[in-house]
Chain A
Amino acid sequence: MKIQKLFQKTLFGIFMLFGVIGISTSMLAIYTVDSQLTEEYESNARGVAKTIADSSVDIILNRDLSALQSLIDQFVEIQGISYIYIINDSGEYLAHTFVPGIPEEILRGEGHGAVSVRRSLPGMGDFVEVSSPILAGVAGRVYIGMDTGLVALKIQRAIGQQVYLFSTIFVIGIVAAIWLVNLAARPVANLLAYAVELAREQSGAADNGVLVRDDEVGQLARLFQYFSGTGDLPAPARPSPATPASSA
């Protein structure tokens, strides 16, 4: 279907508007989901770390470390928790969940003591690592690594769903806009054709039904007919309800 030049800019404007809305809402969604999920992850991890730290005191001081390992093994089953390790006050790794071994970056002690730190471990991925002190830190510290890849995956899913919905609305909107524009453009095209034919033929020009229309197109057609001398002066348009019936 051919879109009239008069309305092409309108369609382009609609297209641009959709684009701006789509991009801005997607960016807002990414930011919102990312910040909320990360915050939630860190909050959960801090809670778990504190729980382990509180439970560890008795085990570290009085019991075998297998009980400590058994404790952290249960927590590492929680979705999103990728690793847990516990260091005592002298920097010794008392229990951990790493396979095949403790990563070099962690062994070097980078970021130890920080409440929250972002880590990128080769071969493992990216993590937010939170920690909690055991017995105010004098007995050691619990560290929990949360997989940020999972956050990224959730963001991707959220954005994917949004893009899918937006694309559907966009396609339906564009088709509807083209249909509506063409609906409005067809009488104008007929008027143009009538005007051209009237200029050529003067009389007997086919009016394509424009002369009987009671809208602005019909009035223009009748006005053209009058100017060409082949018709009477059309009656003035009926005033709209908002327009005063007569001037004072």
Chain B
Amino acid sequence: MKRMTRRAALGAGAGAGGFLVLPRSLSRAATGNAAGFTDTEIVLGMSAAFSGPSRGLGIELYRGAAAYFTHVNRAGGVGGRKIVLRTYDDGYQPNPSVENTVRLMLKDRVFALFGYVGTPTVTRVLPLLKKFQDEKTYLFFPFTGAQPQRQPPYGEFAFNLRASYRQETGGLVDNFVAVGRKRIGMFYQADAYGRSGWAGVRRALGKYGLKIVGEATYRRGQKFTSVMRRQAQILKNARADAVICIGAYAACAAFLRDAVDNGLRVPIANLSFVGSENLLKLIAESQDEPKRYTELLVNSQVVPSYEDASIPAVREYRELMRRYNPQPPKELLKEAYTPFAHSFVSLEGFLDAKLMVEILRRMGDRPERGKLENAVFSVKDFDLGVGVPVSFSANRRQGLDRVYYTVVDGGRFVPLDDWKGRF
């Protein structure tokens, strides 16, 4: 066990004046309630990376969710109950994640699990949900596009908002093949997340009768200072004419740096999980000519661009992020972190929270875990504000399917419209 698992209350230190802090009395009330709610609050449980090289993902997801929950709580909550997000740090490691979940389910007795980060963590937590299936504790909107929480035997215990890695990798492969880049290599994290993306690319290439031409891996938890020259050389030797990366921002930024420095001048793609802004920040702050490294970079996203103010949900997100400026729980922060004003990850957290609130509202005055599934299934053509209606059913446990592609222009991520022109 490598991570501390400290309790934190939602919004601790939130910029607009300490809203949503979980006081001890409320904490006790929540702990003492087996249903995960009292007359004054509904408690959700979150285990995510707030420390380590991937902490930016947990922190930004939390911040986006906190912005919306705070907004709702300030307006009186859901049915008069404030939403409390009990948060633990797992450092993006499976074992702490399992321990945190046991605590959230059995000790904290949360109403539902929300906003978990990562495939290696979530895949290890899913059996717990099955083990305690009588408790009807569901996992809502994990920040991973992996398949295990989308298909049997664990799919029935989770609800997803984002598109899957299969959809992201499928889209990347389709676009690369369309522009004539058929020798696709892979750089991926040597764990369940990397394998999930690898399987997606393999499956997508299979449609065209193609195979992955070369693959290189790295161990989870690598920092930007890690050397990825050997991985770059493997893919260079494989004569890949495009590389799809399945990793987190620190390692993927290190690979991008070493690939370009070693003459691997091919498009390098990342999935939404990478944490695009953190990746770009590492490159921009460490390299004299960041454009040289980012001109062939393409990242898929599962939410629209936070720069596109024509989208209602984006406008709302930007306004609430500005108004509340949510900060990560101080209790969980071991290293300094400078939050982004806006990011794809925090926008996803915001949308997750917005849909969660809608589901809780649909449960009426007397929320019960047993009613959660039906409340989710009642969401039909719901306008989340992203231009695509959201629906759930017994056969559809994923809200959104759309994948967006972004490239770096002028030091920021912008939508990619013309693959052929760019690559």
The answer to whether A and B interact is: yes
Partner of B190, one of A62, A64, A65, A98: A98
Interface status of B119 (Cβ within 8 A of chain A): yes
Most buried by A among B120, B124, B190, B231: B190
Roughly how many angstroms separate A99 CA and B230 CA in the complex, as a whole number?
10
Interface status of A63 (Cβ within 8 A of chain B): yes
Determine if B195 and A66 form an interchain contact, defined as CB atoms under 8 angstroms apart. Answer: yes
Determine if A70 and B190 form an interchain contact, defined as CB atoms under 8 angstroms apart. Answer: no
Chain B 344-379 interface mask (CB, 8 Å, partner A; 1/0):
000000000000000000000000000000000000
| B116 proximity list for chain A (CB < 8 A) | none
23 contacts between A and B (CB under 8 A): A64-B147, A65-B195, A65-B196, A66-B193, A66-B195, A67-B147, A67-B192, A69-B195, A70-B192, A70-B195, A73-B94, A73-B120, A95-B195, A97-B190, A98-B217, A99-B190, A99-B218, A99-B219, A100-B217, A100-B228, A100-B234, A101-B214, A101-B215
Partner of A66, one of B196, B215, B216: B196
Contacts A66-B199, A67-B123, A101-B215 known; 10 new A-B pairs at CB < 8 A: A63-B147, A64-B148, A66-B192, A67-B192, A69-B195, A70-B94, A70-B148, A98-B190, A99-B190, A100-B218
Determine if B219 and A66 form an interchain contact, defined as CB atoms under 8 angstroms apart. Answer: no
| A70 proximity list for chain B (CB < 8 A) | 94, 120, 123-124, 148, 191-192, 195
Interface status of A68 (Cβ within 8 A of chain B): yes
Query: When A62-B152, A63-B151, A100-B234 are in contact, do A69 and B218 touch as well, CB less than 8 Å?
Result: no
Give, as a whole number of angstroms, the nearest-CB distance from A94 to chain B. 9
Report A82-134 residues with CB < 8 Å from chain B CB. 95-102
Determine if B148 and A63 form an interchain contact, defined as CB atoms under 8 angstroms apart. Answer: yes
| A63 proximity list for chain B (CB < 8 A) | 147-148, 151-153
Interface status of B96 (Cβ within 8 A of chain A): no
Roughly how many angstroms separate A69 CA and B191 CA in the complex, as a whole number?
6
Roughly how many angstroms separate A204 CA and B199 CA in the complex, as a whole number?
108
| B234 proximity list for chain A (CB < 8 A) | 100-101
| A65 proximity list for chain B (CB < 8 A) | 195-196, 198-199
Query: When A64-B146, A70-B120 are in contact, do A100 and B216 touch as well, CB less than 8 Å?
Result: yes
| B91 proximity list for chain A (CB < 8 A) | none
Give, as a whole number of angstroms, the nearest-CB distance from A238 to chain B. 80
| A95 proximity list for chain B (CB < 8 A) | 195
Binding site for B on A (CB under 8 A): 62-70, 73, 95-102
Determine if B217 and A101 form an interchain contact, defined as CB atoms under 8 angstroms apart. Answer: yes
Chain B 213-233 interface mask (CB, 8 Å, partner A; 1/0):
011111100000000101100
Query: When A73-B192, A95-B195 are in contact, do A100 and B230 touch as well, CB less than 8 Å?
Result: yes
Interface status of B267 (Cβ within 8 A of chain A): no
Roughly how many angstroms separate A64 CA and B228 CA in the complex, as a whole number?
28
Roughly how many angstroms separate A62 CA and B148 CA in the complex, as a whole number?
11
Roughly how many angstroms separate A95 CA and B216 CA in the complex, as a whole number?
13
Report B144-173 residues with CB < 8 Å from chain A CB. 146-148, 151-153
Roughly how many angstroms separate A96 CA and B190 CA in the complex, as a whole number?
8
Determine if B219 and A68 form an interchain contact, defined as CB atoms under 8 angstroms apart. Answer: no
Determine if B216 and A101 form an interchain contact, defined as CB atoms under 8 angstroms apart. Answer: yes
Interface status of B56 (Cβ within 8 A of chain A): no
Roughly how many angstroms separate A100 CA and B219 CA in the complex, as a whole number?
8
Give, as a whole number of angstroms, the nearest-CB distance from B222 to chain A. 10
Interface status of B11 (Cβ within 8 A of chain A): no
Query: When A70-B124, A73-B120 are in contact, do A100 and B231 touch as well, CB less than 8 Å?
Result: yes
Roughly how many angstroms separate A236 CA and B230 CA in the complex, as a whole number?
93
| B219 proximity list for chain A (CB < 8 A) | 99
Give, as a whole number of angstroms, the nearest-CB distance from B139 to chain A. 16
| B231 proximity list for chain A (CB < 8 A) | 100-101
Determine if A68 and B195 form an interchain contact, defined as CB atoms under 8 angstroms apart. Answer: yes
In the complex, residue of chain A having the shortest beta-carbon distance to the beta carbon of B144: A66
Interface status of B36 (Cβ within 8 A of chain A): no
Interface status of B275 (Cβ within 8 A of chain A): no
Interface status of B326 (Cβ within 8 A of chain A): no
Give, as a whole number of angstroms, the nearest-CB distance from A199 to chain B. 87
Give, as a whole number of angstroms, the nearest-CB distance from B82 to chain A. 36
Roughly how many angstroms separate A206 CA and B19 CA in the complex, as a whole number?
110
Interface status of B247 (Cβ within 8 A of chain A): no
Roughly how many angstroms separate A71 CA and B196 CA in the complex, as a whole number?
13
Roughly how many angstroms separate A102 CA and B212 CA in the complex, as a whole number?
13
In the complex, residue of chain B having the shortest beta-carbon distance to the beta carbon of A123: B230
Give, as a whole number of angstroms, the nearest-CB distance from A165 to chain B. 38
| A102 proximity list for chain B (CB < 8 A) | 215
Interface status of B45 (Cβ within 8 A of chain A): no
Interface status of B194 (Cβ within 8 A of chain A): yes
| B153 proximity list for chain A (CB < 8 A) | 63
Give, as a whole number of angstroms, the nearest-CB distance from A162 to chain B. 37
10 nearest A-B residue pairs (beta carbon): A64-B147, A69-B195, A66-B196, A70-B192, A66-B192, A65-B199, A100-B230, A100-B231, A70-B123, A66-B195
Roughly how many angstroms separate A96 CA and B186 CA in the complex, as a whole number?
14
Give, as a whole number of angstroms, the nearest-CB distance from B194 to chain A. 7
Roughly how many angstroms separate A228 CA and B196 CA in the complex, as a whole number?
106
Chain B 70-94 interface mask (CB, 8 Å, partner A; 1/0):
0000000000000000000000001
Give, as a whole number of angstroms, the nearest-CB distance from B196 to chain A. 4
Chain B 112-147 interface mask (CB, 8 Å, partner A; 1/0):
000000011001100000000000000000000011
Determine if A64 and B217 form an interchain contact, defined as CB atoms under 8 angstroms apart. Answer: no
Give, as a whole number of angstroms, the nearest-CB distance from B243 to chain A. 13
In the complex, residue of chain A having the shortest beta-carbon distance to the beta carbon of B228: A100
In the complex, residue of chain B having the shortest beta-carbon distance to the beta carbon of A69: B195
| B199 proximity list for chain A (CB < 8 A) | 64-66
In the complex, residue of chain A having the shortest beta-carbon distance to the beta carbon of B230: A100
| B192 proximity list for chain A (CB < 8 A) | 66-67, 69-70, 73
Roughly how many angstroms separate A66 CA and B195 CA in the complex, as a whole number?
5
Give, as a whole number of angstroms, the nearest-CB distance from B228 to chain A. 8
Give, as a whole number of angstroms, the nearest-CB distance from B283 to chain A. 21
Determine if B195 and A99 form an interchain contact, defined as CB atoms under 8 angstroms apart. Answer: no
| B147 proximity list for chain A (CB < 8 A) | 63-64, 66-67
Most buried by B among A62, A65, A66: A66
Give, as a whole number of angstroms, the nearest-CB distance from A122 to chain B. 12
